A and B are shown apart, each in its own frame.
Chain A
Amino acid sequence: MSHRALPGFGLCLGCSSAYLGLVVLVPLAALLAKSAGMDWAGFWGTVTQPRVLAAYRLSFLASLAAAGVNAVFGFLTAWVLVRYDFPGRRLLDAAVDIPFALPTAVSGIALTALCAPGGWLGGLAGRLGVRLAFTPLGVVAALTFISLPFVVRALQPALRGLDPEQEEAALTLGATRWQSFARVVLPALLPAHLSGITLAFARALGEYGSVVFISGNMPMRTEIAPLLIAVKLEQFDVAGAAAVAAVMMAAAFVLLAAANFLQLRSLHGRA
């Protein structure tokens, strides 16, 4: 037998699966059981109400937009932090974690103060004829803020592990800088990038605290799905809340599976 730091595969597996089950699977099962209290027609009726559909649409599209923005700017941030050395680099690196570390309500208030018509950014945008606070755009802004660290932190180790000789090899083979970036650097980073984007998207989908202040929560316009769940709970419509939540959960699972599949494919090449 091999000698590992932790004894007993059986014991380790038992502990970790019991823990995972308790922390992850049991709550999910409870949720499903709750929504199963409704009959199919009731469930379908609940999740296809126009207000619920509008909330889903906003949540998914805004999260997608936020993940998309961070796919680009998170990549840029990670690139700059890893590839260049400049005064204040460590400070900037630490700042990436701020959206992560702040209580979401705090970032919500901060963003609202910034984006409200009287605030810095809100005032500036207002002069350009764009409203941020209490619009879907504001929701996207909040989601972009809170999901940035996921892309950056997923990419940094992959970027550090990228061998600079690979880019040099591409150059000696006659590739232009752009070709070397597009054909060598990007594909090598793709698995990490995809996983970062997925995490950012998943986080944005579930975000609540930082969005509710800036969005204004107008039904059909700026109401996100997690808020709708809270609203239903406050009205003691537990089954309705569970139904809305179950759909979100299913969607999250499908997305996670898709992302894993994409990641596997890009890891093992297109063979």
Chain B
Amino acid sequence: MSIDVRHVSKTFNGFAALRDVSLRVAAGELVALLGPSGCGKTTLLRVIAGLEAPDPGGSVGFGGALAEARRIGFVFQHYALFRHMTVFENVAFGLRVRRGPRRLDEAQIREKVSALLRLVQLEMLARHHPHQLSGGQRQRVALARALAVEPKALLLDEPFGALDARVRQELRRWLRRLHEELRITSIFVTHDQEEALELAERIVVLNQGRVEQEGSPAEVFHRPASEFVMNFVGSVNLFHGRLVQGRPVFETAPGAPATRFCSRPHELEIETRRDGGSSLPARVVRVFDAGAHVKMELRGREGQAWHVELNPERYRELGLRSGQEVWVRPRRFRVFPAGDGSFPREPI
């Protein structure tokens, strides 16, 4: 089933959570809604699920499924499992409340719930209550419960938000495999760019209730449409200066209106000697030498914070220590037109 969000706005007591959002999700697609907290991503998910009504003028359409089969599964951030029911009864709930010709008898319910518990690898825990389970297990129960009604679309609100890093990694891969197997149209909400980049086939970046950019993970990462997107899907180093014949010239004197140059940490070049006019002086504040890249924190003359990632060979070649004076030069940079796309604060 495809999902077609058309001009949806949503206002809560004068606060505009969504402003004219339009979005198409193709059947079988796995889409991430990515954005900082308060950007409206959960509201959008709830509008699609029918848990909130959009403001007049907006609508959500579903295509490719008969009206009576337009079921949408929703997995809540905190799972919202029924505490007084066993795992089995939680998963069976959607089948038990069914009325009419599609109603299943007890044996069919047992069979179906057992199959779902096998799918989420929880058949051993069928008789447990939710409070006896770990976070990752609860998450899987919530998923099995949503899948029990054979949804044509699956909506997940921060599916891994409440889990620790390792479980998150595992569940992410598992969910990806599950999606490849079942091919249910899925939308998940996250504020974790890594999660979005790794799991989604397409990413929709939201900011202050608007769609900031839509595209594949590679597009969003390598060709960000605005400074906000660039900052949100990775770290950004900011340089102020002027563009002179396609080359950046960095003014060390602040005050005059300047162009903002954005570079990723791995796009910075570090030198121990000054190299022409496009370098800036900085001091090495901290070095993190545990990982595939050496990460460094630099501080400029005016207190600017810059983050650099070097490959270990280059790091050793330069022989850097913390406290050392160096020169920084952005090897690659992007300039975005000034506007509401700019990030309101200095890069982290």
Q: Hey, which bits of chain A sit against chain B, CB under 8 A? A: 163, 165-166, 168-176, 179, 183-184, 187-188, 190, 266, 268-269, 271
Task: Add 20 more A-B contacts to A173-B94, A174-B97, A174-B149 (CB < 8 A).
Answer: A165-B78, A165-B80, A168-B51, A168-B74, A169-B80, A170-B93, A172-B49, A172-B73, A172-B74, A173-B93, A173-B145, A174-B94, A174-B98, A175-B94, A183-B96, A183-B97, A187-B85, A188-B83, A269-B129, A271-B86
* Closest CB in chain A relative to B19 CB, distance in Å: 24
* Closest CB in chain B relative to A194 CB, distance in Å: 13
C-alpha spacing A184/B94, complex, angstroms:
12
C-alpha spacing A107/B72, complex, angstroms:
55
B97 touches A173 (CB 8 A): yes
Beta-carbon contacts of B67-83 to A below 8 Å, as 1s and 0s? 00001111010101111
B149 touches A187 (CB 8 A): no
* Closest CB in chain A relative to B12 CB, distance in Å: 15
Interface of A is mostly: helix
The CB with the most chain B CB atoms within 10 A, among A166, A171, A190, is that of: A166
Is B84's CB within 8 Å of the partner chain A? yes
* Closest CB in chain B relative to A155 CB, distance in Å: 16
Q: A168-B76, A173-B97, A173-B149 are in contact. Are A187 and B84 (CB under 8 A)?
A: yes
Residues of B within 8 A of A175 (CB): 93-94, 97
Is B273's CB within 8 Å of the partner chain A? no
Chain A residue nearest to B155 (CB atoms) is A172
Is B173's CB within 8 Å of the partner chain A? no
Q: Hey, which bits of chain B sit against chain A, CB under 8 A? A: 49-51, 71-74, 76, 78, 80-86, 93-94, 96-98, 127, 129, 145-146, 148-149
Q: List 5 A-B contacts (CB under 8 A).
A: A172-B49, A173-B94, A184-B82, A268-B129, A271-B86
C-alpha spacing A268/B49, complex, angstroms:
32
C-alpha spacing A175/B97, complex, angstroms:
5
Q: A169-B74, A173-B145, A271-B127 are in contact. Are A188 and B94 (CB under 8 A)?
A: no
C-alpha spacing A271/B85, complex, angstroms:
9
Residues of A within 8 A of B94 (CB): 173-175
A269 touches B86 (CB 8 A): yes
C-alpha spacing A184/B80, complex, angstroms:
11
C-alpha spacing A176/B97, complex, angstroms:
8
C-alpha spacing A173/B51, complex, angstroms:
12
Chain B residue nearest to A163 (CB atoms) is B80
Residues of B within 8 A of A169 (CB): 74, 76, 80-82, 145
The 9 closest A-B pairs by CB, nearest first: A173-B94, A165-B80, A175-B97, A169-B80, A172-B74, A187-B84, A179-B97, A165-B76, A166-B80
Residues of A within 8 A of B97 (CB): 170, 173-176, 179, 183
Chain A residue nearest to B157 (CB atoms) is A165
Chain A residue nearest to B145 (CB atoms) is A173
* Closest CB in chain A relative to B46 CB, distance in Å: 9
B85 touches A269 (CB 8 A): yes
C-alpha spacing A170/B98, complex, angstroms:
12
C-alpha spacing A171/B129, complex, angstroms:
21
* Closest CB in chain B relative to A110 CB, distance in Å: 41
The CB with the most chain A CB atoms within 10 A, among B49, B51, B84, B127, is that of: B84
Residues of B within 8 A of A190 (CB): 84
* Closest CB in chain A relative to B84 CB, distance in Å: 5
C-alpha spacing A172/B76, complex, angstroms:
11
The CB with the most chain B CB atoms within 10 A, among A163, A176, A268, is that of: A163
